[in-house]
Structure 1
Amino acid sequence: MNKKRSRQFFFLFVTVVFLIAFWGQSRAVQAETSDPFSLPHALSPDPIYRMTTHRSNEKIVYLTFDDGPSPMTEQLLDLLDRFHAKATFFMLQPSILKYPQSVRRMRDEGFALGLHGVSHNFRKLYRSKKSVIQEMTTAQKALQQVAQVQARFIRTPYGSSPFMKLKYRKAMVEQGFIMWDWNIDSQDWRLQNWRFNTRTIQKVQQLEKQKETPVILLHDMPTTVRAIEPLLKYLHDRHYEMRAITPSMHPLQFRLQ
């Protein structure tokens, strides 16, 4: 009887250990495969101020486009597809509502969707932390309406410095937003036609020597789309992998001034 009872306790103990291990493994798998856009705010990665290359042979670049979508977005997406490139789009609320088909195509083809606010007016946008939140949540609702995407990525117009004060940044984190800046400004809004390509390529070469990963600021506008192919060809021919940003990445931000 005692031996039988001992065997029963032994099998019970083994069963309990197995169930605990199985539960823990299931939780781990769930954490790895859960929707990244629904991660708790506390799990949002801390910002970094320099994006270093992790491996000596790593060649990654992050193309980011502000101010869209536009009448040229479809042509831009065709170009990116041709060079097997992904990118991140920080979009304005009025444009999201005006070009919903382009937004849905971005979503369907695996581009990252982010927010750029509503007005692009720094006097209006940066009046208070409440005004920044209001613009980003308004754009967020528009993107949700058009593409059923709960976007967390934001890029504040003109970049986070010097307008995004510490209390503004904290408020955005509390709202669950992840703010991104850049380390290469193409200046495509100023250096139109081929000239912004030359500047950007030079900056990419500099960062490569410094073992840094480029995050390039571009704009979804006609002059850029018409002239950007040489830049994409340069990156493709030199075996750069053009990726979209993801929620698990540490966001690159300007240092608070």
Structure 2
Amino acid sequence: MTGNTVHAAEAAYRKKRVKRIKKIIVGTAIVLLLLPTIMCLFLLVKVHSLEKQIETITKVSDSGVVKAQEKEVKTTKAPKKASTAEPTIKPTDDTTTKKVYLTFDDGPGSQTGKILDILKKNHVKATFFVTGKEDASSKKIYQRIVKEGHTLAMHSYSHIQDVIYDSKEAFEKDLKQINRCLYEATGVHTKFYRFPGGSSTQNTSLSIQNFIDVLKKNHYLYLDWNVISPDINNANATKEQVVTGVMQGVDAYDTAVVLMYDVADKPMTVKALPSIIKQIKAKNYELLPVDESMILIQHNNGNQEEGK
């Protein structure tokens, strides 16, 4: 192969290579130019698709609102025509207001005067289920309870369960003793009785119904409780625990009868009482003394949940 032939071949090869490179460059340029256009078209298609979906969702939502409005219109009663007659005014009976009855057992004692002071300061009436005591100091406490508008109630004379519940005769004897004691001190015949241990007590020789019958025969009503102060079962309960425990119970019932002890070894009654009253008032619950119009909470009748 001559030198001219070699040069001609190399020139042809270079020419082809240049053409190939030009094609690659041109192709790349075309792709780079077309790519944004393709991306724009793709995005336009996606936007259009999303607009369709939004339109569909809006229609479904509007349809649901319209149906709901139609349903509301259908279920709403037409207003009654105004009456020309004079309206009849009936007494209201707001049964939705929670009623709270603070009750104190086992007094009178060294704590009773302090409890009465707290109640007086806070303008609250409560109920005292007392035992029988004949000393002058106790009689003054009975009198103060009545004078300050609280309910004085019976919790037996002796509070010795083995004696009281030995027989119907023993029970009635004790009942007459406590009634006499309170009447002689105050001139008031009490109407309410709380069984020592409650009507659910198991510390009786006879069925509790026998003693309930004695109360009925003598026209007395008995009352138990559905809220119990935590310090009654826990001697180490703090003031905060007593307040929290009582309020949890009060919140659970429409008619809450709270059991607290009026005895020297339960000092948390006096310490916690102001906070309990404050929280009850803050919730706009009624604080009332026990009376004949109330819902009676009676364990023996299964009436612990009344008003819940």
Q: Give TM-score, length-normalised by structure 2.
A: 0.60
* Structure 2 equivalent of residue 21 of structure 1: none
1:197 aligned residue (240, 243, 253): 243
| 1:129-152 deviation digits (Å, cap 9, x = unpaired) | 222221121011010111111112
Equivalent residue number for residue 32 of structure 1: none
SS in 2 for 1:94: coil
Aligned to 1:81: 120
Q: Tell me if the contact between 1:59 and 1:240 (Cα under 8 Å) persists in the aligned partners.
A: yes
Q: 1:206 aligns with which of 227, 233, 252?
A: 252
Which residue of structure 2 aligns with residue 217 of structure 1?
259
Q: Are 2:224 and 2:297, in contact at CA under 8 Å, matched by a contact in 1?
A: yes
Name the aligned partner's letter for residue 276 of structure 2.
L
CA distance in 1, matches of 2:173, 2:212: 14
| Identity rate, percent | 29
Q: Which amino acid aligns with 1:152?
A: K
| Contact 1:114–1:153 (8 Å) recurs in 2 | yes
**Counterpart Cα distance in 1 of 2:193 and 2:223:** 6
2:298 is aligned with 1:253? yes
Match of 1:55 among 85, 95, 116: 95
Residue 111 of structure 1 aligns with an amino acid whose one-letter code is H
- Alignment partner of 1:93 is 2:135: no
- Structure 2: give runs of 5+ residues left out of the alignment: 1-92, 303-308
187-196 vs 127-136, which moves further: 187-196
Instruction: Name the amino acid aligned to 2:255.
Output: T
1:110-189 to structure 2, matched below 5 A, reads 110-162=149-201, 163=204, 165-189=208-232
Q: 1:108 to 1:181 in 2, by over 3 A?
A: same
Q: Which amino acid is 1:221 matched to?
A: V
Distance in 1 separating the partners of 2:283 and 2:301: 34
1:69 matched residue in structure 2:
108
Name the counterpart of 2:142. 103
Contact 1:69 1:95 in 2 (8 A): no
Structure with the higher helix share, 1 or 2: 2
Cα shift readout 1:47-75 (whole Å, capped 9, x = no counterpart) = xxxxxx9623x132011110011122121
The 1:72–1:161 alpha-carbon spacing in structure 2 relative to 1, beyond 3 Å, is: same
The amino acid across from 2:216 in the alignment is V
Cα deviations across residues 82-116 of structure 1 (Å, max 9, x unaligned)?
A: 22211111100027764111211111111001001
Q: Conserved in 2, the CA contact under 8 Å of 1:184 and 1:214?
A: yes
Check whether the contact 1:166–1:256 (CA below 8 A) recurs between aligned residues: no
Q: Based on CA coordinates, which of the two structures has the bigger radius of gyration?
A: 2
1:234 to 246, 266, 279: 279
What does residue 89 of structure 2 align with? none
Any runs of at least 4 consecutive aligned residues in structure 1 with deviations exceeding 6 A, and if so which?
A: none
Q: Secondary structure at the match of 2:231?
A: coil
> Using a 3 Å threshold, how does the CA distance of structure 1 residues 240 and 83 change in structure 2: closer, same or farther?
farther
Are the counterparts in 2 of residues 96 and 103 from structure 1 also a CA contact under 8 Å?
no
Deviations 1:184-218 (A, max 9, x none): 111433334412222111111222xxxx2101111
Corresponding letter in the other structure for 1:168: F
